[in-house]
Amino acid sequence: MANQDKINELIEKRAKAKLGGGEKRIDSQHSKGKLTARERIDILLDEDSFEEFDMFVTHRTKSFGLDKQVYLSDGVITGHGTIDGRIVYVFSQDFTVFGGSLSETYALKICKIMDMAMKIGVPVIGLNDSGGARIQEGVRSLAGYAEIFQRNIMASGVIPQISSILGPCAGGAVYSPALTDFTIMTDQTSYMFVTGPKVVKSVTGEVVTTEELGGAQIHSTKSGVSHFLAENDEENLLLVRKLMSYLPSNNLEDPPSIKCSDPIDRLDDILNDIIPENPNQPYDIVDVISVITDNGEFTEVHRNYARNITVGFARFNGHPVGIVANQPKYFAGVLDCEASRKAARFVRFCDAFNIPIVTLVDVPGFLPGTGQEYAGIILHGAKLLFAYGEATVPKVTITLRKSYGGAHDVMSCKQLRGDLNYAWPTAEIAVMGAKGAVEVLEGSNIRKIEDANEKQEYIEKKEDEYNTKFANPYVAAKYGFIDDVIEPRNTRFRIVRALELLSNKKEVNPPKKHSNIPL
């Protein structure tokens, strides 16, 4: 019987640990429209795959009366399980225990699974719902955060790291998600900021609500901190699962492929007419993407941020790719500071994890003006330039319409080691558009013409001459900067063939400690 008593004690302790902060606090969590830490793990992972570590860990603090408040697991659930049969490590912060606040032992639990994930070479997924540092533990709590940050940094580019924000994430806590690859926030129930509304008011006098300062909408549209916006906890967690389907387990693996039922050689006649005759008329680049990818699927990243460029994951013949595409529907697809930074980060992620990059180009140039220059468009544009030039994964570029000036170079041109560069017959590749070019080239002649009608006729004639010469892909093709001019309806087939050709590509950068990307 003695053995059975010990087994019963184990069963009781497990049951107690699974209650977290107790039924009352679990009900409070549910009343806010939020799931508990364990319910979230159940949705995220394959059924019955979760194996928990450190369930019996407790904090070690005796001051401030904490010795009388001891909870098994200490506010974070850690362990491993599978997503679609693939191993992942996960930590899930439990808001029902001390508001999910981080203690020294709590941090050590997270560090343990991060260390294990690095040894094994599998992703780490963090489910964040925490009030921040546990004030009663003082500097030990801050040290715990720094231990986590250091592991985030060492794991960067080695294993995928995904942060799901399902409640508060404030102060020092925000920097772990910021160091990871993707952050997913939940509308109305999650928020992130370095300093809260009360501190903001006391320091600057600015009155702002929690939602206005660091809500999911703000970080998905204005700051770019959040890559995805979910409506509720369940959608947030299902987005993590979907994202994982495109990613390898580590930087030494290829991304997971699936069987493709979508014919690789289907002809998409709609593409032959998708570019408007008027070069200033917009169209939606997502319409192009959804036609050429497997089954029209496209998982867009940063959908609501810097919308003049579109990035995300898709598949061609069952193989994951990253897509970067100018979006003519917003600001004519012009490159600005935010779009450049958004695309550069995505390109670097894809390169780190062996995901080929398909670039669709329709860019009139960089956004002019003092606002952009003062904000550092030179540095931000250089980020994208650097990212493409540094990337060694297969790179396929299709120029659909405009590709002007420095923006042409930045968008994965041949000289930035673009592997295969194609163009549609509608492509316009030149230093600048006809209007600006004629003003530069013919300015002195135009000024000599006094009659307004004659002047206008002369300008139009010269613009037509310029368009005839440069508003086509054949000049670039003549020099080999474009490998082929393709019929738009064949785009899917040509991309699939290009990626197959490049599947064993080997390209190595010079030995170095690390590059000095213009940050």
Question: Could you list the active site residues?
Answer: 171-172, 406-407
CB neighbour burial string for 402-437, b if at least 16 within 10 angstroms, e if fewer: bbbbebbbbbbbbebebbbbbbbebbbbbebbbeeb
- Which residue do the tokens 């289907």 mark? 266
Q: How far apart are CA 410 and CA 334, in angstroms?
A: 12
Q: How far apart are CA 279 and CA 272, in angstroms?
A: 15
Q: Do the bridges between strand 420-423 and strand 395-404 make them parallel or antiparallel, or are there none, so unpaired?
A: parallel
| Number of other residues whose CB lies within 10 A of the CB of residue 459 | 18
Residue 398's contacts (CB-CB under 8 Å, 6 or more residues apart) are 358, 359, 360, 361, 422, 423, 424, 486, 491, 495
Q: Bridge partners of 313?
A: 299, 322
Q: How far apart are CA 149 and CA 156, in angstroms?
A: 11
Asked if 112 contacts 78 with a C-beta cutoff of 8 angstroms, the reply is yes
Asked if 110 contacts 145 with a C-beta cutoff of 8 angstroms, the reply is no
Q: How far apart are CA 206 and CA 331, in angstroms?
A: 31
- 3-state SS, residue 160: coil
Structure tokens at 382: 């250089």
φ, ψ of residue 490 to 5 degrees: the values are -90, 5
Long-range CB pairs of 111-117 (<8 Å, 24+ gap) are 111/147, 111/148, 111/151, 112/53, 112/54, 112/78, 113/53, 113/78, 113/79, 113/80, 113/89, 114/89, 114/148, 114/151, 114/152, 114/155, 115/151, 116/80, 116/89, 117/88, 117/89, 117/155, 117/159
90 φψ region: left (φ > 0), alpha (ψ -120 to 50), beta (else): beta
φ, ψ of residue 48 to 5 degrees: the values are 60, 25
